[in-house]
């Protein structure tokens, strides 16, 4: 990975992802570009010179070096560009973890901890620190993500604009470690598993009511979004069969530790990220997750 010199003309640098290259290599004529992504991760808009009255006002922004396009889809754009026809938008919606309604955050680690098997579940103390149960899912905690405009400049009694309301979420998780399930433990359908073992789940309002619902609250109690609210995403994580029945992946990818708040004895753990992205606005949230197994 490297930076491209952007001191002259605008550069367009596009490459196929690993999956795209694989499908192109099949050579059966079925390859067709259906999706692409644009982002502005490198751009600092504070560089805009408001005192300038000519074209040089955004010169520093236009000449900011940009990253080369990369093929690894796991290193995806964090700030994806979206097209919205209205020009009166002052605030963009965000995704925030709601640890008030679904208290699954281990405040000591600042992570969400998943007990990989029933033995580990029995060694947890949900009073000291909440755990997601990777085997008996319904008995553990769950995750809740709230979407909306996080600003006190707009009252939560206003309804969020329809073009800023997320009606579909894309959830990504390492398929070797766990799967996405609802709060009762029913598995969601996997949309796609890429060459890096990252599984993508597409969860939509109306078609997936056990996951996605409208947030009708207009009060502050139990809420993390200050302004108008859109939808909520509720889910749990089930540990994979490999983590539930074996320590191989823990020994290969993880570490040994002890003294975890709310878990007695020694344990093995693997740290990972669960990524949640709104399909409408591109808002993204990365949740740090730790799978643990008593040893």
The predicted pLDDT at position 164 comes to 93
The predicted pLDDT at position 74 comes to 59
The predicted pLDDT at position 211 comes to 97
Please provide the distance, in angstroms rounded to a whole number, between the alpha carbons at the two ends of the chain: 39
pLDDT per residue of the chain (295 residues) written in tens, 0 to 9: 566 666 666 566 777 877 788 788 888 888 888 777 777 777 788 888 888 878 778 888 777 777 777 766 656 667 777 778 888 888 999 999 999 876 789 888 899 999 999 999 999 987 778 999 999 999 999 999 999 999 999 999 999 999 999 999 999 999 999 999 999 999 999 998 988 899 999 999 999 999 999 999 999 999 999 999 999 999 999 999 999 999 999 999 999 988 888 888 899 999 999 999 998 888 999 999 999 999 8
The predicted pLDDT at position 240 comes to 98
The predicted pLDDT at position 50 comes to 85
The predicted pLDDT at position 63 comes to 78
The predicted pLDDT at position 216 comes to 92
């Amino acid at each position: 990975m490297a930076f491209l010199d952007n001191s002259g003309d605008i550069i367009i640098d596009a490459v196929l992802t690993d999956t795209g290259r694989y499908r192109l290599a099949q050579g059966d004529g079925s390859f067709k570009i259906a999706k692409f992504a644009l982002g502005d991760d490198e751009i600092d808009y504070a560089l805009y010179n408001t005192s300038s009255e000519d074209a040089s006002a955004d010169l520093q922004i236009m000449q900011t070096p940009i990253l080369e396009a990369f093929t690894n889809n796991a290193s995806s754009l964090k700030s994806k560009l979206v097209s919205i026809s209205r020009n009166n938008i002052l605030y963009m919606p965000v995704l925030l973890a709601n640890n008030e309604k679904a208290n699954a955050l281990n405040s000591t680690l600042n992570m969400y901890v998943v007990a990989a098997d029933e033995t580990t579940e029995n060694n947890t103390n949900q009073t000291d620190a909440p755990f997601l149960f990777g085997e008996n899912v319904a008995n553990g905690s769950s995750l809740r993500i709230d979407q909306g405009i996080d600003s006190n400049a707009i009252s939560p009694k206003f309804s969020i604009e329809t073009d800023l309301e997320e009606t579909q979420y894309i959830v990504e998780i390492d398929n070797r470690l766990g799967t996405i399930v609802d709060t009762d433990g029913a598995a969601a359908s996997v949309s796609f598993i890429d060459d890096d073992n990252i599984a993508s789940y597409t969860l939509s309002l109306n078609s997936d009511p056990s996951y996605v619902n409208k947030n009708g609250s207009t009060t502050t109690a139990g809420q993390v979004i200050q302004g108008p609210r859109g939808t909520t995403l509720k889910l749990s994580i089930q540990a994979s069969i490999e983590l539930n029945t074996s320590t191989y992946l823990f020994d290969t990818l993880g570490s040994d530790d002890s003294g975890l708040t709310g878990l007695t004895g020694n344990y093995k753990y693997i740290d990972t990220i669960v990524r949640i992205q709104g399909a409408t606005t591109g808002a993204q949230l990365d949740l740090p997750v730790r799978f643990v197994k008593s040893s």
